[in-house]
Structure 1
Amino acid sequence: MSDGEEQLDKLQQVELARTVPMSRWRAATVQAWLEVIMAMPMYMRACADNIKSGKVMLTLTDTDLETGLGISNSMHRRKLRLAIDDYRQAESGHGLSNAAELDHHWVAQAWLNDVGLPQYAQFFHTHLVDGRLLSTLTRADLEKQLHVSKKAHQSSLLLGIQLLHILNFNKELLQARRADCENQNFDPLVWSCQRIIKWLRDIDLTEYAGSLQNSGIHGAVMVLDPSFNTDSMATALGISASKHMVRQHLSEKMKALLATARLDAEQEVETMGRSTIRHNDRQHALRQVRPEVSSNLKSSVEVNSTSVITGCEDATPQLENSPAGDLTNV
């Protein structure tokens, strides 16, 4: 078979992997899926030697992946197990999860840039973090596996993941909502870091706006973190405590932007909590938004936006189990 014919066959196998249930795959389809869709060509040889059908793939355990396919990277194994579980659930006719549409390139490039933390792109890329794997990340994963050592950055990433959960990992919905508010100051929950910078310029704080680059401050941080307030933003922007009038101006603008947004977000979380989520959209695949977020949001509406919150790197989190608890460490 010529190179051209091999490439055509691979494309055909990839198409089969996208349209045919995994249980009906033959060995060539399994290999094309692993190489192209899962972006794991480094495991192709072991796969070709050991996995002869999709039915076999559906039965693989973590031990099988480590010993049989030689996958020593625990994040790679988790990515595969989550995908296999997703395909297993899809066998019942429900289709794959929305997170299946978010590949590791989107996560490492688009998503990290949107949450204002592009400096971690290489680590996310190395571990091939896609939508499914992203949905399961914990603070410990971020610190130990992805080298995110700053607590504030960990919290930022976890809040960004919570936003995706609220939207059921629907990328099109996220993009549509962002487009709707690109030139109007509403729905800050979905704002990217770049959109906040634009807003700061619109409210005549251009000289401070650039400080948010690589800061990890995005819309979900402002709306979902009950402790994030004027002082948090002022600290991130480098506005000194002596600039009382500038801080007052920022306070008024943030109050106008966030009061309604936090109430709306609370309703979104409550609505999602009542909705039926498929098993593979729950823990070990796509986990639902943590239940404490709703109560945290309710309390955040009552937070005085001018109260003093320190920016100490070693500050004790206010909410031990909440990713929002220490975001004032920005």
Structure 2
Amino acid sequence: LAEFRRGGLRATAGPRLSRSKETKGQKSDYNAPFAQWSTERVCNWLEDFGLCQYVIFARQWVTSGHTLLTATPQDMEKELGIKHPLHRKKLILAVKSINTKQDDKSAQLDHIWVTRWLDDIGLPQYKDQFHESRVDGRMLQYLTVNDLLFLKVTSQLHHLSIKCAIHVLHVNQFNPHCLRRRPVDENNISPSEVVQWSNHRVMEWLRSVDLAEYAPNLRGSGVHGGLIILEPRFNGDALAMLLNIPPQKTLLRRHLTTNFNVLIGPEAQQEKREIMESTAYTPLTTTAKVRPKKLGFSQFGNLRKKKFDESTDYICPMDTSPGATNGTQKSYGGYKGLNQLTDRELDKLDQVGQID
């Protein structure tokens, strides 16, 4: 009779029960190093991790966690059938992290959270590509220019938007709730708060400065607080262009620029003014595209190495200096620390072509 009690063995729940049994049986080796994980435990981990389509191959090939630890990207493609480059990247990063037992808060943000994050930063049009590629919080730190192109993100402005948004996550230690969607106090807004604004929050601000009719034009633009504050070339003119305010409406554009400058504060105004006055300045446009980064002969050798993540060209390089861990939440001083990485991006303009 015990078999027919609630929660007992039922034919319809076989797979679920067999898995829960496995989990109970693993309590004894729960703290075992990844290399000693059993085949079933590795398969369960892959399934929970969003790569369930490769479990059937893993059961045949993986003898223990050690199999994945020693696997090259080529092994993963051949033995597990992982032809998707970002799925391989996801697995390699996860194996590296779990083996070194890094306490990485970004690992707690799964690929479902990332699709919601794309909504927040104003780029919902890429949700399908990011979801299919299973891009999670940990992967955001290691996305390269070419990864974004693979995800069909070709706009230079959208690259900058994603880079600034990842930066805001870094500064807030990957707090999943760091972006602000709703106004708190319209009369007391500081630049350190604006940097955490979501796309929707920027639209709310436009309504508060009597530009409600243009606010819907920001959907899909990639404009969020991080881009407004951290990108030196993003100014009132760039915002007017994205809002589709005609150039002949000079009073309206002046009204927008005045309110924009009040919003970002004097320090960011000065930074943007200096960039505009520099000889290398090129204004942001909606038509500028990012070209793929070509590999030189010296880099082809690196492709065969397992440690792909040492080959740099990340969309948002990680700054591990102590100054980068405070800033947007406490004071405006973090703006300068963040901005160093933004300036570094200007060195990559040789990749960017203007399309008339």
What's the TM-score bracket when you normalise by the shorter of the two chains? 0.7 to 0.9
Residue of structure 2 equivalent to 1:250: 256
Q: For residues 137-216 of structure 1, what are the structure 2 equivalents within 5 Å?
A: 137-143=143-149, 145-172=150-177, 174-175=178-179, 178=180, 182-184=184-186, 185-186=189-190, 187-216=193-222
Residue of structure 1 equivalent to 2:106: 99
Q: For residues 1-330 of structure 1, what are the structure 2 equivalents within 5 Å?
A: 2-11=11-20, 20=31, 21-36=33-48, 38-90=49-101, 95-108=102-115, 110-143=116-149, 145-172=150-177, 174-175=178-179, 178=180, 182-184=184-186, 185-186=189-190, 187-259=193-265, 262=268, 288-289=318-319, 294=336, 297=339, 319-321=346-348
DSSP 3-state at the match of 2:213: helix
Work out the CA distance in 2 between the residues paired with 1:14 and 1:214. 43
Work out the CA distance in 2 between the residues paired with 1:299 and 1:135. 14
Runs of 4+ in 1 over 3 A off after TM superposition: 11-17, 179-186, 260-263, 281-287, 293-300
* Residue 70 of structure 1: how far off its partner (Å): 1.8
Work out the CA distance in 1 between the residues paired with 2:320 and 2:348. 9
Work out the CA distance in 1 between the residues paired with 2:336 and 2:198. 22
* Residue 87 of structure 1: how far off its partner (Å): 0.6
Q: Structure 2 vs 1, CA of residues 225 and 23 (structure 1 numbering), >3 Å: closer, same or farther?
A: same
* Residue 198 of structure 1: how far off its partner (Å): 0.5
Q: Structure 2 vs 1, CA of residues 220 and 289 (structure 1 numbering), >3 Å: closer, same or farther?
A: farther
5+ residue gaps in structure 2? 1-8, 272-308, 322-334
Indicate conservation of the 8 Å contact 1:222/1:229, yes or no: yes
Work out the CA distance in 2 between the residues paired with 1:132 and 1:189. 21
Indicate conservation of the 8 Å contact 1:166/1:289, yes or no: no
The residue identity in structure 1 corresponding to 2:111 is H
Work out the CA distance in 2 between the residues paired with 1:13 and 1:39. 19
Q: How many residues of Structure 1 are paired with residues of Structure 2 in the alignment?
A: 284
Who wins on radius of gyration, i.e. which is larger?
Answer: 2
5+ residue gaps in structure 1? 266-280, 301-316
* Residue 30 of structure 1: how far off its partner (Å): 0.8
Indicate conservation of the 8 Å contact 1:226/1:296, yes or no: no
Normalised to the residue count of structure 1, the TM-score between the two structures is 0.74
Indicate conservation of the 8 Å contact 1:100/1:131, yes or no: yes
Q: Percent identity?
A: 32
Structure with more of its chain in helix, by fraction: 1
Work out the CA distance in 1 between the residues paired with 2:161 and 2:131. 18
The residue identity in structure 2 corresponding to 1:29 is R
Residue of structure 1 equivalent to 2:274: none
Indicate conservation of the 8 Å contact 1:25/1:53, yes or no: yes
* Residue 128 of structure 1: how far off its partner (Å): 1.0
DSSP 3-state at the match of 1:215: coil
Indicate conservation of the 8 Å contact 2:181/2:197, yes or no: no
After superposition, the CA RMSD in angstroms is: 3.7
